Amino acid sequence: MSKRLKTILLLFILVLVVIIIGNYIHLFLTKRDINYPNKDTYSKIDKNNLSILIEVDKKQLSIIDLSSNKIIKNYVVATGKPGTPTPLGTFKIIEKARWGGGFGSRWMGLDVPWGKYGIHGTNKPGSIGFNASAGCIRMRNKDVEELYSIVDYNTIVAIINGDYGPFSHGFRNLRPGDRGADVMEVQKRLKMKGYYTGALDGIYGEGMKYSLIQYLKNNDLPLTDIIGHQIYEKLGIILMD
């Protein structure tokens, strides 16, 4: 065997040894960093006892174990812009999918009756922590992937924003075609008073308009299809400090 061939063979063996040793070192360091007593924490939790709380004002999503009433995980999120606010209320996860693009690596759709909203990842991680979305709850991809693996279909998702429930985004003049938790609250009040008989879907449609007009007629109020401060007050919807 020539000297040159021996040198090449020796170098090949040395490279192979370095690769093998490097793999062993990597495995050792990886195993050393794993907290084995806690590494199966999420797999041991009963997914039927989990719920999600999203606090819009704090830009925070929490996973809550209902069996112990303890928060087991918190994430920072982005929520809706002022013109496209995040829906407030209590919903369920009805979709789970692996999307891409602006929705990041995971999507969890909610059963919001007045529109398509969900919890999803993002290709704009710098937006996390701000009012930046079209109403959805936006998470970092690594966070939404973890959440996706922890929660299941029909998980309850409660979305709040301070102390004023569906009016935490403030009072607005409601007009036919408007949608939101505030519309649904007006529907509830009209239903309680025996005027509205339609679905509580948060959509200001013709049925809600008809019931509003009947309510105004019977209470000697000016007829209008715009729900403003006077009607809110008459319906008993008042924000207290």
> Count of CB atoms within 10 A of residue 119's CB?
27
- Separation CA 120–CA 106 (nearest Å): 5
Told to judge if 26 belongs to the known catalytic residues of this protein, a careful annotator would answer no
- Separation CA 93–CA 142 (nearest Å): 19
Told to judge if 169 belongs to the known catalytic residues of this protein, a careful annotator would answer no
Query: Looking at 26, 136, 169, 229, which residue is catalytic?
Result: 136
| Active-site residue set | 120, 136
